């Protein structure tokens, strides 16, 4: 049962009184202020997603040696499971804690947000280093978007208010992760634009990000671009191969060496088109990206070799600290999906094979790139390079279903969103030449 469901049941029995809630939250703040600071997370801008949709996964306590081996000190989880939060206590690992979709209605109310914070965050501070609350996942394009979209921003605002009331808004950022299906046009990146039917939601969300200094998170998967249109998208371009010649944006004349940075810049352009003021300060960060190592017979691109190439190149790309062609001064921050293969994931067979590790802790494949040792704080100090992580406040820069074409020009066109009636997550629709888009619903 989700934490917010337990909370709602508790309210039916006995609604907490204001002074009791305030006292509990104040106690958490005092504890946080008096406790010694944890070791810095990592100088690396790279993190990893810790999904747990499986019945054969190791306990959370087994995760630390794997993270240490990778040199990664940032982890995104999709809920606020207390077992996991306790497992990361006093490790210095920086966490993104998910607020599940089913909790949005409860936390959209300020008192509900304060109560959720009391139940799911305050008890673990300061021992567990929680830096981000990710409200929902791919809400605007998910199976329940019709009922949840209106509550997304109020939920973010209420949680941010509750965090600020504790004086923790400089330490804990409140944001949300979107899939690339929010784009109505993506090719070329300079023509990036949000779906017109989503602008009434996205424009005020961008205002919120600009006001709070929080980043705009996207789940970006070049894998789906290639697997949907292998003739129109070159494999080396999708795999982020550093030796690929790249593609030029015909409008901006910017050179794009790989598809991931093209996707990120398309989002930057969409933000600028929707909200000029917000575009000056809102930073785009990648909350999920990855490549599966196996799949069904028709998922020919899902191989250990391709997964190893993509994730090694993604790690190298982030470690280079060069940003994107449009935003070279804003370091590219990304979370690789995922830590483990998850055998209970619904959808395509490949959905169950995104892990860098098998459930027994052995590598699913060998990576050709390893983060430099000074990027990890396992036995090292903080160099200060990565301040803010994927959701922190440091280093911030601050429906039209038309097809704009270009699937055979090296970019994957995500200009028309295919609605996912089954609700499974991260599934891209049909070929780029047909104007397909990614629908990445959790």
Beta carbons of 415 and 399 less than 8 angstroms apart = no
Q: In DSSP terms, which residues pair with 46 in a beta bridge?
A: 334
| CA 203/CA 190 separation, integer angstroms | 19
Beta carbons of 326 and 252 less than 8 angstroms apart = yes
| CA 353/CA 345 separation, integer angstroms | 9
Q: In this structure, how many other beta carbons lie within 10 angstroms of the beta carbon of residue 13?
A: 6
| CA 116/CA 97 separation, integer angstroms | 12
Please list, in sequence order, all residues whose beta carbon lies within 8 angstroms of the beta carbon of residue 386, skipping any fewer than 6 positions away. 41, 42, 43, 44, 45, 74
Look up residue 401 and give its two tokens. Answer: 């279903």
| CA 47/CA 57 separation, integer angstroms | 20
| CA 436/CA 249 separation, integer angstroms | 20
**C-alpha radius of gyration, the chain, whole number:** 21
Q: H helices within 275-319, ranges in order?
A: 276-279, 304-319
Point out the catalytic residue in the list 119, 283, 288, 351: 288
User: For residue 217, how many C-alpha atoms fall within 13 Å in the half-sphere facing its CB?
Assistant: 30
366 is catalytic: no
Nearest Cα to 71, choosing from 318, 375, 379, 361?
375
Q: In DSSP terms, which residues pair with 135 in a beta bridge?
A: 99
Point out the catalytic residue in the list 119, 138, 342, 351: 138
Beta carbons of 118 and 80 less than 8 angstroms apart = no
Q: H helices within 123-242, ranges in order?
A: 145-165, 199-212, 222-228, 235-238
E strand segments, 251-377: 255-256, 284-289, 334-337
Beta carbons of 303 and 361 less than 8 angstroms apart = no
Nearest Cα to 178, choosing from 439, 395, 432?
439
283 is catalytic: no
Backbone phi, then psi, for 340, in 5-degree steps? Answer: -125, 155
Q: In this structure, how many other beta carbons lie within 10 angstroms of the beta carbon of residue 27?
A: 11
Q: Are strands 193-194 and 183-185 parallel, antiparallel or unpaired?
A: antiparallel
Q: In DSSP terms, which residues pair with 284 in a beta bridge?
A: 216
Catalytic residues: 138, 288
């Amino acid at each position: 049962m989700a934490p917010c469901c337990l909370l709602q049941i508790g309210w039916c029995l006995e609604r907490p009184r204001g002074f009791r809630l305030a006292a509990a939250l104040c106690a958490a703040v005092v504890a946080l202020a008096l406790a010694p600071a944890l070791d810095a997370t990592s100088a690396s801008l790279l993190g990893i997603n810790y999904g747990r949709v499986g019945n054969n996964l190791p306990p959370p306590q087994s995760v630390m040696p794997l993270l240490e081996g990778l040199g990664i000190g940032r982890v995104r989880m999709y809920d606020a499971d207390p077992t996991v939060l306790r497992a990361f206590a006093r490790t210095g690992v920086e966490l993104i804690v998910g607020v599940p979709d089913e909790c949005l209605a409860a936390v959209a109310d300020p008192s509900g947000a304060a109560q959720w914070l009391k139940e799911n965050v305050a008890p673990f501070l300061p021992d567990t280093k929680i830096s981000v609350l990710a409200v929902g996942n791919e809400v605007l394009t998910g199976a329940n978007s019709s009922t949840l979209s209106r509550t997304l921003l109020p939920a973010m605002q209420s949680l941010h208010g509750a965090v600020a009331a504790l004086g923790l808004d400089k330490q804990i950022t409140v944001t949300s992760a979107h899939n690339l299906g929010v784009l109505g046009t993506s090719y070329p990146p300079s023509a990036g634009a949000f779906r017109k039917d989503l602008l009434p939601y996205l424009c005020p969300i961008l205002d919120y990000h600009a006001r709070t200094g929080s980043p705009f998170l996207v789940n970006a998967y070049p894998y789906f671009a290639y697997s949907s249109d292998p003739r129109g998208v070159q494999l080396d371009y999708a795999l982020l191969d550093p030796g690929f010649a790249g593609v030029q944006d015909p409008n901006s004349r910017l050179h794009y060496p790989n598809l991931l940075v093209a996707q990120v810049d398309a989002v930057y352009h969409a933000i600028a088109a929707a909200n000029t003021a917000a575009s000056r300060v809102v930073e785009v960060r990648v909350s999920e990206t990855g490549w599966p190592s196996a799949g069904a017979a028709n998922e020919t691109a899902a191989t250990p070799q391709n997964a190893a190439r993509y994730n090694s190149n993604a790690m190298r790309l982030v470690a280079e600290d060069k940003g994107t062609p449009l935003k070279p001064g804003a370091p590219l921050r990304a979370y690789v999906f995922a830590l483990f293969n998850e055998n209970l994931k619904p959808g395509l067979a490949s959905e169950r094979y995104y892990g860098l590790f098998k459930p027994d802790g052995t590598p699913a494949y060998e990576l050709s790139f390893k983060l430099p040792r000074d990027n990890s704080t396992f036995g090292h100090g903080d160099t200060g390079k990565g301040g803010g992580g994927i959701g922190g406040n440091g280093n911030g820069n601050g429906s039209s279903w038309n097809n704009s074409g270009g699937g055979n020009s090296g970019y994957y066109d995500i200009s028309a969103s295919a609605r996912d009636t089954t609700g499974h997550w991260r599934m891209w629709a049909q070929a780029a030449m047909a104007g397909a888009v990614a629908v990445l619903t959790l």
